[in-house]
Chain A
Amino acid sequence: MNVHLKFICNNEYVETDINPSVTVLDFLRLQKHLTGTKEGCREGDCGACTILVGEMTGNFIRYKSVNSCLLPVSEIHGRHIVSIEGLNVKGMSPFQETLVNEGGTQCGFCTPGFVVSFASFLLSTDSFDTETALSFLGGNLCRCTGHNRIISAVEKTLSGFNGGAATSFSERVGLLKNKNFLPAYFADIPERLKSIQREHKIFEGAENAVFVSGGTDLFVQQGDSLTEKNTVFLSGVLKGEKIWIEGDELFLSAAATVSDLENSEIINRIFPTFKDLSKLFGSLQIRNRATLGGNINNASPIGDMSVFLLSLNAKVFLSNGKTIRSLYLKDYFKDYKTLDRNEDEFTQKFSIPLPRGGYKLSFEKVSKRTYLDIASVNTSLYIEYDSVITKAGLSAGGVSPVPLFLKESSGFLIGKEISSSTLVGLVEAALGEIKPISDVRGSAEYKTLLLGRLLRAHFLKLFPEVIKAEDALC
């Protein structure tokens, strides 16, 4: 069933009747014949299809880089999408020029994606330094240059670049336009977008619905068939706050993206290390789309957010549009890719008890490649302690058919002191609770030994005054 969509594509206002599950990549290439956006993998792993999606927030348009191969068109209603064609200026922008001069492009297939990701950095950064810029390029893969020439181009582009946090959208686009980074039409986009604001639907249940959250895994697995299904896009259902506190609980909307968490003042206050560890979850393009609800309901045994929330003793709230029920996340995962969820239910939100007293959180993940990779093993440890441990949540992924809450091990920690002997006991308890299998992400033996080391890494990181390198390496 087609839907009627209105949005701005580069400098063009578009109104179209279209199947809501068509990807923006196909829309751009096949319908608009804008072929600068490339298909490299259709799984969000190469970034050749990167575009910007701009959304009004107050008077500011927030542009985020996303993988257009995993983005359904229904999600761009009322928004501004920008492909490489919409970024080109007369001649070349300073970044394009340094890419050419530094040898930062060879075959050219990945290059538009890098240019678009760099533009998302320019539009949204508060600090124009190389390190920040590179964090925006992590989801883009170049097979020819080995990336060093691209890094060099970034450095050269930013050397002597004066700019700070923008106070208004017009100030930022003005700066970028004056430096020839951005075409002039961006200045008028807020005015043009105001006339096509998104409206939210009230969801009252649906037959045979396929619920789509961020879609970053669903479109990888089922991209070919979603246009034939009754897709319900949860972004139109789950509205309002993404992250809030109520009583002694922290609530997270199922629609909250990893980026939302990363940029949340509340999360950064309660879990100051989250910002760094979130860099290990997918790429920026994925984090900008991937939601908590999607990651948990995907039920991957190595889901990063699942493991994170399990250690925090989270509850999941399910709705069928009429009634709501809740259960502990650790009970939600029943078996491999099997959840305690009825077909008509979708996840509305999660709750986490607010930490009390002295508390610590550690997340560890080992994958082949540090960034944008799926874990061989990941694990999260949450501890509240006084003179002894009063509360503990230990979870691990990649070591059982489901993301695992290690009940016995968590229980073992209660009442224990922080010491190397507690650590030894914990490792023993944990290894008795897991059942890893050998697969493409490693042998069972590897995963077992690795979890043992990562538990030591938790303790070493959290309690360096008590736990020493020798304790971790023994």
Chain B
Amino acid sequence: MLNYDSIRHVKGESIFLDDFGAPAGTLHGAVFYSPEAHGKIISLDTSEAEKHPGVKAIITAKDIPGENQIGGIIQDEKLFADTEVEFIGEPVALVIADNPLAARKAAKKIKIEIVPLEVITDPKTAFEKGSLIIKQARVYSCGSTDEAWKNCDFIFKGTAETGGQEHLYLETQSALAIPLEGGSIKIISSTQNPTAIQRTAARVLAVSDNAIESEAMRLGGGFGGKEDQATAWAVMAALGCRITGKSVKIVLNRQEDMRLTGKRHPYVSDYKIGLSKGGKIISYEVVFYQNAGAAADLSPAILDRTLAHCTGSYFIPNVKAEGYSCKTNLPPNTAFRGFGGPQGMFVLEAAIFNAAEKMKMEPRVIQEINLLNEGDAFPYGQKTEFCKAKECWNEAKSKFDFDSVKRETDEFNEANKLFKKGFAVMPVCFGISFTNTMLNQASSLVHVYADGSVSVSTGAVEMGQGVNMKLRQVAALTFGISVDKVKSEFTNTTRNANTSATAASSGADMNGNATKLACGEILSRLKNHYRRAAKLSENEPVEIENGYVISCGKKTDVTWERLTASAYRNRIDLSAHGFYATPKIYFDPRTNKGNPFAYHVYGTAVITVTLDCLRGTYEIDSVKAVHDFGKSINPVIDRSQAEGAVMQGIGWLTLEEVVHNEKGRLISDTLSAYKVPDIGFTPKKIEFLFLENNDRNAGVFNSKAIGEPPFMYGIAAYFALVNAVKAANKNSDVKISAPMTPEKAFMNIYGEKK
């Protein structure tokens, strides 16, 4: 099976936005942004910058023909700041010049006067000062925690923190706007959400949606960072295009990308957990303080998923989870693989870890006895169906032999002073669908050309997750032909309208199902055509297998190509549009109850680490997981996705540290200061066992979404490190604050107790 994306990648032949031959005379934009985290703009002087050689235009808020507004969920984000700035990196002006260097140099000559206002970077401080994105709390609850506390043998309280995370897609944010006739503009950009760009550009330029053609070719990584935050640059390019009449390209360099764009939301969370003597969790209360940054972006939706996943893979009868989206003076934080889920699950794992320690039990004992069963209800009301929580756990427990892992770890620690090992287990349950029910819709436009080749256009953007290949497989499977006959097209809003972002792990599911519907329609026309031509009755079975027509169970010599050519000559419509709206999902945002997810993905992982007690550095020894892949339609893609996700999760909890100073300036703003897992950090062993099944409630062809769920196995790395630190210094009072950088590991061993 040829995955042509991969073949082009390895030969360097894939075309990313900056590789695309821009029209002759294309101008280049550079963003001038606020140097202050909060303040009133007193003056903006662009006169020196205008004189810089090669400068063609400098665009500010006053040049916007339509609305100066790019907010998605809430209308609280301007394209260009005009009276007030709220974070360092907030765009104020766009300089357009002959070449990128001239634009950047000119941007440095812009002078801005700002009267500073108070800077808040911490979510709890924001909460205390009433600085919130949405004033009221979001609350998910079930049972009655107030009643339940009295039934608990043990009650523990604590705080858990998780840090931000830089997406670090290797291809930075980039966009190209090309003028078309009649005032229309074509925008090609590196976005997960072409429709958001179309709508936002139309709004800013005061034109109708059909005047903007928005396209995404392929992305050099997205991870959520190009779901909402690709929009500003694309809209700026379009605005530049409108004003200069020329094509305008904007490609952020790495440092701009790191400084100007939002990241994974840091959270500070307070929990209270109540358990029986045996370790059964009876009651759980948690308050999440989400650091949203200076504008809503997708924060409210992300907070909802945090609340939805606050009970992780466990059944807890009494839950009260509150969430506050806190407004701070940082770039608006945004979608990132897991979409708030990891932050929610981390807190409960911290609570279980704390409880286990105080109750002198192993965390895995508490984890195991509280796992979800078939029919258990989540705090949002939905009940598990085809629940695989225990199946995955038990399989992992026996295949990876948790007891042996424990024994070997203890023996190693007994025998070694300079190095200590630790391990932890992490069960995952992750809901698949956009939490906003409206977004769970997709369309597919399928053309079969007379020569039998097939073109599939959907809203799914290829960003490395292999959705192009999966869609080709869906079309090929539906038609009964070879994958080589099928091409996946770039997403373009003139072919597919009103697309949802390629996000929430749902790209292959939704667009695959839409493609299956469209192909099914064409297939049925082709079968009827064959019946007519072969003078068969309406009921006689006709199939296509391996590129040949099978008539009444017998292979004919009619090839797919012959059939399509014949259908064309007989004026049969060889194109179809399929539309898929995920069935049976609903959610009431007032009660926070419903059936928001099409299905859940399960799994269990065990991670082992070795800590260098003298230096505080560590290695991840192994990652082993049993993961519920459904009936994988492409195990090569799915395995690579799973491994990549877990390594990104481990990175979030170990090396990756987003650091701002008290003035709100990002100081980890280069790749030399922000470290992600490299080849040397790769665990010696990564093993994913496929729990295959044929759940009827799964995705396309019973496959399951893969993008996000394995990310959360990374949480085990954090607690494995805590265990290793405690083995190094049994008196260490580890503050649960991720990531566990080598500095934190070291200070937890040697630092003065605070």
Which residues of A line the B interface, CB within 8 A?
Answer: 29, 33, 35-43, 45-46, 48, 83-85, 88, 92, 96-97, 99-112, 115, 134, 137-138, 140-151, 220, 224, 364, 366-374, 376, 439-443, 445-446, 449-450, 453-454, 456-457, 460, 469-470, 472-473
Contacts and interface: CB of A to CB of B under 8 A. Distances in A.
A142 B657 CA distance: 18
B667 interface: yes
Contact of A108 (B5, B614, B616, B751): B5
A374 B672 contact: yes
A77 B57 CA distance: 39
A122 B676 CA distance: 27
B716 to A, nearest CB: 15
B720 to A, nearest CB: 17
B3 to A, nearest CB: 7
Most A Cβ at <10 Å: residue of B104, B465, B675: B675
A170 B677 CA distance: 38
Given A109-B220, A145-B643, A449 B657 contact: no
Contacts of A115: 10-12
Interface string B2-13: 010111111111
**Shortest 9 CB-CB distances between A and B: which pairs?**
A36-B12, A146-B647, A108-B9, A107-B464, A103-B640, A109-B220, A106-B464, A84-B12, A45-B671
B737 interface: no
Given A147-B679, A446-B746, A472-B614, A39 B12 contact: no
B19 interface: yes
Contacts of A42: 253-254
A46 B670 CA distance: 11
A473 B616 CA distance: 12
A35 B19 contact: yes
A290 B8 CA distance: 32
Contacts of A443: 743, 747
Given A145-B644, A457-B614, A472-B614, A366 B742 contact: yes
B12 A107 contact: no
A107 B9 CA distance: 8
Contacts of B742: 366-368, 376
A138 B678 contact: yes
B682 A107 contact: no
B743 A370 contact: no
A220 B14 CA distance: 27
A457 B615 contact: yes
A41 B220 CA distance: 13
Nearest to B741: A368
A181 to B, nearest CB: 13
28 contacts: A35-B12, A41-B670, A42-B253, A46-B170, A100-B10, A103-B636, A107-B170, A108-B6, A109-B171, A111-B9, A111-B12, A112-B12, A141-B671, A145-B647, A146-B643, A146-B686, A224-B105, A364-B615, A366-B616, A366-B617, A367-B742, A369-B680, A370-B680, A445-B747, A450-B615, A453-B615, A469-B417, A472-B614
Interface in B39-80: none
Given A108-B220, A146-B643, A370-B617, A141 B16 contact: no
Most A Cβ at <10 Å: residue of B613, B640, B668, B681: B640
Most B Cβ at <10 Å: residue of A88, A138, A369, A469: A369
B383 interface: no
A373 B675 CA distance: 8
Contacts of B741: 368
Contacts of B743: 368, 376, 442-443, 446
A140 B21 CA distance: 26
A144 B221 contact: yes
Contacts of A137: 679
Interface of B: 3, 5-16, 18-19, 21, 101, 104-105, 168-172, 218-223, 253-254, 417-418, 463-466, 613-617, 636-637, 639-641, 643-648, 655, 657, 659, 667-668, 670-673, 675-683, 686, 741-743, 746-747, 750-751
Contacts of B219: 107
Contact of B463 (A38, A107, A142): A107
Contacts of B644: 106, 143-146, 149
Nearest to A141: B678
Contacts of B12: 35-37, 83-85, 88, 111-112, 115
Contacts of B648: 143, 146
Given A368-B742, A440-B673, A106 B640 contact: yes
B169 A149 contact: no
B642 to A, nearest CB: 9
A469 B418 contact: yes
Contacts of A48: 170
A111 B6 CA distance: 9
Given A96-B11, A373-B675, A453-B614, A38 B636 contact: no
A427 B10 CA distance: 51
A454 B614 CA distance: 7
A373 B673 CA distance: 8
B679 A111 contact: no
Contacts of B9: 105, 107-108, 111-112
Contacts of B254: 40-43
Given A367-B742, A454-B615, 10 more contacts: A43-B672, A92-B11, A105-B6, A107-B170, A109-B171, A146-B646, A148-B643, A224-B104, A450-B616, A457-B615
A150 B680 CA distance: 12
A468 B675 CA distance: 33
Contacts of A469: 417-418
A460 B614 CA distance: 10
A374 to B, nearest CB: 6
Nearest to A33: B21
B14 to A, nearest CB: 5
Contacts of A110: 170
A148 B686 contact: yes
A453 B170 contact: no
Most A Cβ at <10 Å: residue of B5, B15, B614, B747: B614
Contacts of A108: 5-6, 8-10, 14, 218, 220, 464
Nearest to B638: A103
Given A148-B686, A369-B675, A456 B463 contact: no
B466 A106 contact: yes
Contacts of A145: 640, 643-644, 647
Nearest to A111: B9
Given A366-B617, A372-B678, A144 B15 contact: no
Contacts of A134: 679
A84 B417 contact: no
Contacts of B657: 368
Contacts of A450: 615-616, 746
Given A100-B6, A369-B655, A457-B615, A147 B170 contact: no
Nearest to B15: A35
Nearest to B8: A108
B560 to A, nearest CB: 26
Given A84-B12, A145-B640, A473-B614, A107 B679 contact: no
Contacts of A109: 16, 169-171, 220-221
B671 A41 contact: yes
Contact of A149 (B11, B170, B643, B677): B643
Contacts of B170: 38, 40, 46, 48, 107, 109-110, 141-143
A84 B11 contact: yes
Nearest to A112: B12
Given A141-B678, A146-B648, A96 B10 contact: yes
Most B Cβ at <10 Å: residue of A100, A454, A460: A100
Contacts of A440: 659, 667-668, 673
B613 A473 contact: yes
Contact of A371 (B6, B218, B223, B680): B680
A453 B6 CA distance: 47
B432 to A, nearest CB: 20
A196 B672 CA distance: 37
